[in-house]
Structure 1
Amino acid sequence: MSHPDGDKHHFVPRSYLRRWADAGEVSVATIATGRRARGGVRVTAMKRGFYAIDSYNTDPNAVEKAFGSVEDPGKRVIDKIVDGRNGDVWPLPLDDRVALGAYVALQALRGPEQRLLMQSLQDDMVESETRFVDEHGAAKWFANHGLRLTEERARGAWDSGVGDGKPLVVIDALYHAQRIANDSDTVMNLFLSRYWTLVRFDTPSLITSDAPVSLNDAHDERGAWGFQNAPSISLPLNRTTALVFGAVYPSQSEGETEALLNGAFDREVEGSDIWAQRLNARTAHNAEHELYFHPDDAALISSELRTRNDS
């Protein structure tokens, strides 16, 4: 299916990218090559037709439009945070905390890197199950899944379904949208079960990327952590503000859970050079292909931040 020129689907919201823009443009550093350029917010962090579901009965922009119901409230909370002064808006009231948690959960799930992860997990599973069938037979595999067949019939069913490396499911826009719909509440609740730290800098200090929700520190193997067990999760909110989620808090009582949700364990701290270095290193390490920064902040992108050389 070909997608009209209007189907510019942003996997990072334009309203978010504008926080690093000058006259509607952001600077872009390509991780694989180190190349730097400037690009308009409208054409940055975008893939044409990325969320389009191939159906004549479906608006190709329907999925991205649906994101607006989460993006808009989250944007308003971020506006309130970055425009506020120290101590004025933090900790957030519960409604704002939930809105921002939903926004971060959506951003964590919507990008191309998540679709690649889904594909990689499926490929690993098919490879593992294929090894089992090769070693123990297709009949044994089906028996383990509650279906008794002769080896001949089982082998035919296996080859028809997943033989020759065939995918179990097609990892496309429809599948991705379904995963976002199914997983968003769970991921949001995992964010809400952590304590939150707001880091404010006096001067522009932060970059962002095409995968701005970071689960791994620069010294971690990429993909080492998930939303539940990551020691910390970070998201730059603009050039001078970052949100850091601490470890999942093991609430022992209903009262502790209520206190957590109402921000009793949250804190607001003054950004330092150490904070900036760690957050920017995390951003670069977790990025998929591109780093984004304000045109005046080129000095924040150094060779030390280019931790990956794959494209």
Structure 2
Amino acid sequence: MSGPKRHHFVPRAFLQRFGCDGRVSVRRRGRGRLITARALNVAVESSFYTTQTPEGGKSTEIEALLAEVDGPADKAIAEVIEKDELPAAGTAGREVLATYMAVQVGRTPEAREQVAFPENFLKYADGRRVDAKLMAEYLREVHLGFEPSDGEVAGAIKMVEAAEVMGTLSHNDTVTVPLSVAEKYAGVLMRKHWSLEVARKPRFLTSDAPLVAWHKPTPADRYRGRGFGNAAEVRFPISSGHQLVLTDQPRPLVIRVEPARVRQCNADVAAGCHNFIVGHPNHPRQLHEVSLAEKRPTLRFSTFPGYRVDADGTEKDLGEVPLLWVQRAVYPTQSRSGSPRRQRHAAGGRRGRR
């Protein structure tokens, strides 16, 4: 199949709603100055969704399928902004937006880096024996940027060992596997209570990972994650003045929010972005006032004592099982203390939720 080679992992029409005249400002991790550019040239990579056909040719089928999601969602978002009103629960409009958000989770470079962790590590190893010393080196120098705990090293090794048993992912797999969970995520989002926040001063930011899973910070955040299923709030800014908020408890359908709430949400957008945040060219202050660490790991690891409860009620010890999780913030310091390793982790929940 032939098709466009410039693939947006955050849709251009979506990004434009955070700027003006088709232009937005971008602040990247590790860089102080802003870059103002056309949204056409932001969050785009050449042939990002291109896959290989069985005959050895190239296919842009994934990009075409994403366009089928983006088009209706763009119309639905425009209607929400125009009316200051959400589509009712159970309607096609609600489903369109839930699907759009769910697909956005898996269509980014961050999602692809997560599934490609074993392959990236083995390339780094370059034939060297996989052991704790080599994994600690990779995590410290490449993946994390700080000294890993023993539990983190052990969890990462278990992931690589499992990947070696199952076989390395093909390029097509790295494209499609992150998108394969979209239907599951859409169902989770549809079941939540939706509200629309309208900013008195339109200053919301977005990023290259625009869906935000937020919960009140706890000490456990240093060794496990929260996902879109168990987050206190799932936030999705849809313009500089509007934000969808999904919760487990009912809220008013439309909420007018003050600048303090916008600033709080912008800080969480910045904490959870992959590489960059996006905002209005005429309001650089909002992009500069948030803290943006040089790096946020795409994937974290722990190990926990695992067990399984059989049908007769007996428990079977599974030994140390890995927990994979996504870090939603960057901490001021990272220590070697690791996770509390005596917390039990049941079989069936080995993989951390996003």
Partner of 1:65: 64
Aligned counterpart, 1:253: none
Give the structure 1 partner of residue 22 of structure 2. Answer: 24
Query: In the superposition, relative to structure 1, how do residues 76 and 200 fare at CA in structure 2: closer, same or farther (>3 Å)?
Result: same
Aligned to 1:310: 295
Q: Any residues of structure 2 matched to 1:139-178 within 5 Å, and which?
A: 168-171=166-169, 173-178=171-176
Structure 1 equivalent of residue 239 of structure 2:
238
Q: Is the 8 A contact 1:199 1:241 kept in 2?
A: yes
Give 2:318's aligned residue. Answer: none
SS at match of 2:282: helix
Whole-angstrom CA distance in 1 between matches of 2:187 and 2:61 = 25
Structure 1 gaps, min length 5: 125-129, 132-161, 250-263
- What is the number of residues matched between the two proteins? 257
For the pair 1:227 / 2:252, whether they are aligned, the reply is: no
1:268 and 1:300, CA in 2 relative to 1: closer, same or farther beyond 3 A?
A: same
Q: Please, what TM-score do these two structures have when normalized by structure 2?
A: 0.64
CA shift at 1:236, angstroms? 0.5
Give, in whole Å, the separation in 2 of the partners of 1:81 and 1:60. 34
Give the Å deviation of 1:173. 4.7
Residue in 2 that maps onto 1:139: none
**Normalising by structure 1, what TM-score?**
0.72
Q: Does 1:97 pair with 2:94?
A: yes
Q: Which of structures 1 and 2 has the larger relative contact order (alpha carbons within 8 angstroms, sep 6+)? A: 1
The aligned runs of 1:296-307 (5 Å cut-off) are 296-303=282-289, 305-307=290-292
Distance 1:102 1:217, change over 3 A: same
Partner residue in 1 for 2:279: 293
For residues 60 and 22 of structure 1, do their structure 2 counterparts lie closer, same or farther at Cα, with a shift above 3 Å needed? farther
Name the CA shift for 1:202/1:63 in 2 (closer, same or farther; >3 Å).
same
For residues 263-301 of structure 1, give each alpha carbon's deviation from its aligned partner in whole angstroms, at most 9, with x where no partner exists.
x86621111123202210111011011111110121112
Q: State percent identity of aligned pairs.
A: 20
1:1-311 mapped onto 2 (5 Å cutoff): 6-55=4-53, 58-85=57-84, 88-89=85-86, 91=88, 94-120=91-117, 168-171=166-169, 173-216=171-214, 219=217, 221=221, 224-247=225-248, 267-303=253-289, 305-310=290-295
Counterpart of 1:152? none
Tell me the distance in 2 between the aligned counterparts of 1:100 and 1:189: 11
TM superposition shift of 1:188:
0.2
Using a 3 Å threshold, how does the CA distance of structure 1 residues 90 and 54 change in structure 2: closer, same or farther? Answer: closer
In 1, the alpha carbon distance for the partners of 2:62 and 2:69 equals 12
Q: Cα gap change, 1:294/1:170 in structure 2, threshold over 3 Å: closer, same or farther?
A: farther
Alpha-carbon distance in structure 2 between the residues aligned to 1:167 and 1:291: 38
C-alpha contact (below 8 Å) 2:13/2:74 kept by paired residues: yes
Contact 2:5 2:46 in 1 (8 A): yes
In 2: Cα distance, 1:190 partner to 1:22 partner: 33
Deviation at 1:121, TM superposition (A): 7.3
More helix by proportion, 1 or 2? 1
Letter paired with 1:61 = T
Q: Which structure has more strand as a fraction of its residues?
A: 2
Deviation track 1:46-95 (CA, whole Å, cap 9, x = no partner) reads: 1112111134655443211110121111111111101114xx55645611
- Structure 1 216/202 Cα, relative in aligned 2: closer, same or farther at 3 Å? closer
CA gap 1:92/1:19 in 2 versus in 1, 3 angstroms? farther
Q: Secondary structure at the match of 2:68?
A: helix
- Taking only aligned residues, the RMSD between alpha carbons, in angstroms, comes to 3.3
TM-aligned CA deviation for residue 180 of structure 1: 4.5
- Against the structure 1 CA distance between its residues 229 and 296, is the aligned structure 2 distance closer, same or farther, given a 3 Å change threshold? same
Distance 2:166 2:232 in 1: 32
1:296 aligned counterpart, secondary structure:
coil
Segment of structure 1 superposing worse, 211-220 or 101-110: 211-220
Shift of 1:6: 4.9
**How far apart are residue 171 of structure 1 and its match?**
4.7
